A and B are shown apart, each in its own frame.
Chain A
Amino acid sequence: MNKIELLAPAGNLEKAKIAILYGADAVYIGGKQFSLRSRASNFSLEEMKELVDFANRHQAHVHVTVNMLPHEEDLEGLDDYLCALDRIGVHAIIVCSPSIMMRAKELGCQYEVHVSTQHSSTNSKALSFWKEKGMDRVVLARECQMAQIEAICQQNILPVEVFIHGGMCISFSGRCVLSNHMTLRDANRGGCAQSCRWKYHLMDQDKECSDPSNLFSMSSKDLQAVDQIEDFIRMGVASLKIEGRMKSAYYLATVVSSYRYLIDQIYKNGKATTEDLQRVKMEISKAENRPTGSGFYKGLPGYDVQLYQDHDETVTQEYVAIVLDHDPQTKMATLQVKNHFLPYQDLEIFGPHIQSTTVHVDAIYDENDLELKVCNQPMQIVKTKWEGPIEKNAMIRKIRVV
């Protein structure tokens, strides 16, 4: 049986490379056409090529989302785009529209075609249907529970991909057009406004049943499936998918490296210890900006896995710098500032090959060797003597007081 794949999202080239460096076996990205996350930061074909070359050097794969549900006006250029992806050498495309799936096969494209979670495949007969159509993998609906996933995997119909982390749709994927109705932004063509997270009065005719100080909402806690990884490996799931193409490079580095560590521990020792699980959850919590829960993996979600109160989703200020370079002789590290921090304090470093380690930082200098009292200009290049483990692309953060 192949080793389970850790599949990470990436909204741009920098994030994709970080995800691979920090341990993702594959990354999924969106192009500037036919993708659900329709943002300007999606990949051009040239960027995809650069990423595929980078991924090949690191024995990783690139999957491209072609998961928009096209209207008539969106179909133009489809063949050219599918063929371009083939020439670039992507490993797979993730698709919802069956006609796009079939077209990729008809054109003889060499990449795999994966059925998107937008199709909400919830049983083995649906997988059998997609197998007959020539598809290569199915991303299961997030509504599947553990015993159901196991029963599907046991039948060995097609490789199965499951979500393990990140934002959760409150509805069956693809079956929500709330955004269309509230904002005219088409949820199935990349414009979802997440209207499910807004506040609503719940009315029984003219009687208000909602609490005016805590109105009805449908926001879900993010998924975090650390406790289920060992079971997924045992069941024979093919791929563990992290959601979050909009997430920061720091978030990706933290989450990917955490799951990487856990997967490797399970393969090495045959299981995850309590310490492994606690350590991974602690690491992940350093980058989370929204409460997490187990989704459907511990049964039908109750109110404890939803969010009703307004909560801060501020980007964490903990991430303060990234390592651009270091000189092992002089021990001078060159860093790029990300957030405000002061010299002469303990900070924490983690990296593709470095577990979280506390290091004391003394004087910090700018590029003209002038000592700084504070590092408060994002993107500024600074230098400091680093007496601890360090590597290029490692990230430095403040130590959270628990």
Chain B
Amino acid sequence: MFIVTIHDLNRLPEIKEAGADAVIFGVEQISIRQSLLVSFDRIQDIVAKCHHLGLKAYVNALRFFMEDEMDLLEKFLEVCAVSHVDGIYYSDEGVYYLARQRKMESLLIYQPETLITNHKDIAFYLGLGLQSVSLAHECSLEEILKMTETNKNVEILVSGYFSILYSRRMLVTNYLNAIRSKENGHGHKFDLIESTREQRMPIFEDDYGTHIYSEAPIQSFDEFSALKNHGIDRFRIDSLFFDDDWTISVLKAYQESGSVPGSNHWYYQKTIKKKEKSHE
């Protein structure tokens, strides 16, 4: 199953034609790190459009919700229920609790970007009745295959940039204010380059904080067969910082054994646990 993000809803038929099984869109006040944001009153219509084309419709509810936002969250879940969305991505346990009260837990996909790094935690979350769990990006291919020996109902980001830091602070605005710059840091994509290196990491500040992304978009063309043959069936493609043409080319590449620029080095990289080991 290919689950993809979308920029222009007019491109839904092409996205479907290219091989997508589901699209993810964002909702104002609810989503973060999403290419398309719509208002609450458009959700039902968009879901209907997706279903008409034979696409599932997923919604991004990935941010953390503060105590004074529980009414907002309840309203969002109500709209999702009425609109018959097929899935909701979340990372705040409060979302699960409220969704479960409405018997909507089977719509949920736990997607904290990090955290899910072993089979026991996969089993815990699937045991809550979720639709799926998204694996941490920092796991190698070997680790992914090992931790999904028994539970295959996981989701993997196979192409696209992914978040490596999520802060509640307005880090870009704060810095520009500190240096008395007239630049506007909010709602605009910048890049960070560490002072001794060359790689760029996209950084984006929205109303809910600051997000820093991987130094390259992941791509999994060499690993795709191994993942599929292992029994994993949910593959996410995130077009943030790209466009729908990119998504279509990526979808085709996965189905026709092609490739699109990106990096797969995380699949072959082992991280170090102990500080001392880094000096060995």
Query: In the complex, which residue of chain B has the Cβ closest to the Cβ of A40?
Result: B276
Whether B70 pairs with A125 at a CB distance below 8 angstroms is yes
Given A180-B271, A190-B275, A209-B181: A198 in contact with B194 (beta carbons within 8 A): yes
CB of B82 within 8 Å of the partner chain: no
Interface size class for chain B?
Answer: 35 or more
CB of A312 within 8 Å of the partner chain: no
Whether A99 pairs with B94 at a CB distance below 8 angstroms is no
Which residues from 37 to 88 on chain B have a C-beta closer than 8 Å to any C-beta of chain A? 64-70, 73
Whether B274 pairs with A177 at a CB distance below 8 angstroms is no
CB of B228 within 8 Å of the partner chain: no
Interface bits B173-187 vs A (CB < 8 Å: 1, else 0): 011111101010000
Interface bits B194-226 vs A (CB < 8 Å: 1, else 0): 110000110100000100101100000000000
CB of A401 within 8 Å of the partner chain: no
Whether B115 pairs with A174 at a CB distance below 8 angstroms is yes
Residue in A123, A193, A199 whose CB lies within 8 Å of B92? A123
For the complex, what is the distance from the CA of A144 to the CA of B67, rounded to whole Å? 9
Whether A198 pairs with B66 at a CB distance below 8 angstroms is no
CB of B25 within 8 Å of the partner chain: no
Whether B121 pairs with A126 at a CB distance below 8 angstroms is no
Whether A175 pairs with B67 at a CB distance below 8 angstroms is no
For the complex, what is the distance from the CA of A120 to the CA of B64, rounded to whole Å? 8
Residue in A97, A132, A145, A202 whose CB lies within 8 Å of B190? A202
Which residues from 96 to 138 on chain B have a C-beta closer than 8 Å to any C-beta of chain A? 96-98, 112-115, 117-121, 123-125, 136-138
Q: Which residues of A contact B277 (CB under 8 A)?
A: 191
For the complex, what is the distance from the CA of A170 to the CA of B147, rounded to whole Å? 30
Which residues from 37 to 59 on chain A have a C-beta closer than 8 Å to any C-beta of chain B? 38-40
- Give the interface centre of A72, A103, A189, A211 by most chain B CB atoms within 10 Å: A72
For the complex, what is the distance from the CA of A188 to the CA of B271, rounded to whole Å? 10
Query: In the complex, which residue of chain B has the Cβ closest to the Cβ of A195?
Result: B194
Query: In the complex, which residue of chain B has the Cβ closest to the Cβ of A102?
Result: B124
Whether A172 pairs with B183 at a CB distance below 8 angstroms is no
CB of B11 within 8 Å of the partner chain: no
B175 to chain A, nearest CB (A): 5
For the complex, what is the distance from the CA of A323 to the CA of B91, rounded to whole Å? 50
For the complex, what is the distance from the CA of A143 to the CA of B137, rounded to whole Å? 24
Whether A99 pairs with B124 at a CB distance below 8 angstroms is yes
Residue in A38, A130, A215 whose CB lies within 8 Å of B195? A215
Whether A218 pairs with B97 at a CB distance below 8 angstroms is no
Given A175-B113, A196-B165, A209-B181: A189 in contact with B278 (beta carbons within 8 A): no
CB of B260 within 8 Å of the partner chain: no
Q: Which residues of B contact A147 (CB under 8 A)?
A: 68
Q: Which residues of B contact A178 (CB under 8 A)?
A: 164-165, 212
For the complex, what is the distance from the CA of A121 to the CA of B139, rounded to whole Å? 24
For the complex, what is the distance from the CA of A172 to the CA of B92, rounded to whole Å? 12
Whether B194 pairs with A182 at a CB distance below 8 angstroms is yes
B197 to chain A, nearest CB (A): 8
Whether B164 pairs with A177 at a CB distance below 8 angstroms is yes
Which residues from 119 to 136 on chain A have a C-beta closer than 8 Å to any C-beta of chain B? 119-126, 128-130, 132
Residue in A102, A198, A303 whose CB lies within 8 Å of B175? A303
Residue in A122, A189, A195 whose CB lies within 8 Å of B64? A122
Whether A209 pairs with B183 at a CB distance below 8 angstroms is yes
CB of A70 within 8 Å of the partner chain: yes
CB of A216 within 8 Å of the partner chain: yes
CB of A69 within 8 Å of the partner chain: yes
Whether B171 pairs with A218 at a CB distance below 8 angstroms is yes
CB of A152 within 8 Å of the partner chain: yes
CB of A302 within 8 Å of the partner chain: yes
For the complex, what is the distance from the CA of A71 to the CA of B122, rounded to whole Å? 11
* Complex A-B, nearest 8 residue pairs according to Cβ-Cβ distance, in ascending order: A125-B94, A99-B120, A186-B271, A303-B174, A303-B178, A126-B93, A125-B97, A126-B94
Q: Could you jot down 15 A-B contacts, CB within 8 Å?
A: A99-B120, A129-B97, A152-B67, A172-B168, A177-B164, A181-B164, A188-B115, A189-B273, A190-B274, A191-B273, A195-B194, A199-B195, A203-B192, A301-B169, A303-B174
6 other contacts beyond A72-B147, A181-B214, A220-B169, with CB at 8 A cut-off? Answer: A72-B117, A98-B124, A177-B164, A198-B194, A204-B190, A301-B174
Q: Which chain A residues have a beta carbon within 8 Å of chain B's beta carbons?
A: 38-40, 68-72, 74-75, 96-100, 102-103, 119-126, 128-130, 132, 141, 143-145, 147-148, 151-152, 170-172, 174-178, 180-186, 188-191, 193, 195-196, 198-205, 209-211, 214-218, 220, 296, 300-303, 306, 308
